[in-house]
Amino acid sequence: MAIHPIEFRYGTPEMKRIWESENKLQRMLDVESALAQAEGELGIIPQEVADEIARKANTDYVKLERVNEIEAETNHDIAALSKGITEVCENGAGEYVHFGATSNDIVDSSNSLLIRDSIDVLEEKVERLTKIMLELAEEYKMKVCIGRTHGQHALPTTYGMKFALWADELHRQYERLEHARGNVCISVMDGAVGTTAALGTDGWKIHKTVARILDLPPAKITNQVLQRDNHVEFISTLANIASTLDKIALEIRSLQRTEIMEVGEYFDPEKQVGSSTMPHKMNPITAERICGVARIVKSYVNAALDNNPLWHERDLTNSSCERIMFPESCILTDYILNLTIKLMTNLVFYDENIERNLNFTNGLIMAERLMAELTRAGMGKQTAYGIVRKNAIKANREKLLLGELILEDEEVQKYLTEEDVEKIMDPHTYTGSIEIIIDELLEDAKTWF
């Protein structure tokens, strides 16, 4: 019976396939195969033995059920793996399985393969989402809306600015994934305390040859385990990606609030139900799920940090944690990437509300522009600030139009005409360098992927 929501509710098939038990077993078998091949290549074991081990190190021969049976008896997963291979090898080849290795050589190297495969999936999704943001930035480059600071109406901005900002951040996340790949996807085959003692001076050659066969960089030095600062970087990168998706979803949720309702996620009126008791509800459930699951991914950073300090050359406290942390963080990050792609692909705009909110303050959002234009016309900046502030406070308190009120000020009349103020008070024309900023980013983005 399924217990964890990942089993039936959260996750994509492509990421779950990477972390399912049979594939994890295959990746460990891949490492055992690479070890045998390396030892055969260097003449440490007979070549025909190496070939037999490599041929049988496959889930077609080594069955998950049998390995689990052995582990239930031995209470040791890699010992069970080794015996499982030994049982299916012919002509005594099984006697050479796992020669010179220690358990964590297999665990860490196979985890490197699994994480590499996971990064491939994640990078594809981050790239896809980035390109969606770039397309939205181009399409809505000059769609003027109110910008908010501290939750208050501030100045006009555009939806293109929001999307371009997110695209730029997502591209940085893509680069962080690439950097993490280089540090965490590493092969190790160094023995019990990292000295390769069981294989003597040939051990370092085996270490590098196994890495070549697995197509992974070899670790420069270990004490049996790959140092977990690298895994901290990987989990922190996933948490960072989750925080970006959280940010995006939170903004969409806020903009979908009833009193704002500028944009929102698509709601299927024919099939979708918003509430079991309130028939009118159309809730931002996709965005809310992104925000909720992101909290779980972010929570693994502390666990990853705690896995770095181990007793002496190593202990086992990281192992149980990583059995949970690696698959869950990868599966859940991939899942909310998928949700964010869905959210942004089907985003709904409410143009009337965007315009309504832009003009909600009766022109108060144009106070900065009034001050700037008065200064350009010859009034001192501090004087202009004081006059505009005085009139803005009055307009806000008495619910008056700032543009009309400012024209009654005798000092203002010396510098601005009614036509000047009318132009100044149009929020659609107060967009600064937005078009230049977005165009430059879009041009730069052509080199991103």
Catalytic residue list: 150, 275
Tokens 């985003």 locate to: 347
CA dihedral of 72, 74, 77, 81, whole degrees rounded to 10? -100
Return phi, psi of residue 158, to 5°. Answer: -135, 160
Would you tell me how many other CB atoms lie within 10 Å of the CB of residue 299?
13
Secondary-structure percent of the chain, ordered helix, strand, coil, rounded to 5: 65, 5, 30
Calpha distance 224→319 (Å, rounded): 13
Reduce the DSSP state of residue 429 to 3 states and report it.
helix
Q: Are 410 and 416 in contact (CB under 8 A)?
A: no
Which token pair is 186? 């590493």
Chain-centroid distance, C-alpha 194? 33
Task: Judge contact between 49 and 96, C-beta under 8 A.
Answer: yes
Please give the helix or strand (H or E) that residue 386 lies within, else none. helix 381-398
218 within 8 A of 211, measured Cβ to Cβ:
yes
Q: How many residues does the chain have?
A: 449
Q: Which residues of 421-439 are buried (b: 16+ CB within 10 A; e: fewer)?
A: beebbebeebbeebeebbb
Q: Which two tokens stand for residue 441?
A: 């980013």
Which residues, 6 or more positions from 240, have their beta carbon under 8 angstroms from its beta carbon?
173, 176
Tell me the β-bridge partners of 145. Answer: 157
Contact 326, 180 (CB under 8 A): no
Diameter of the chain measured on Cα atoms: 104
Cα-to-chain-centroid distance, residue 440: 25
- Cα–Cα dist 428/358, whole Å: 9
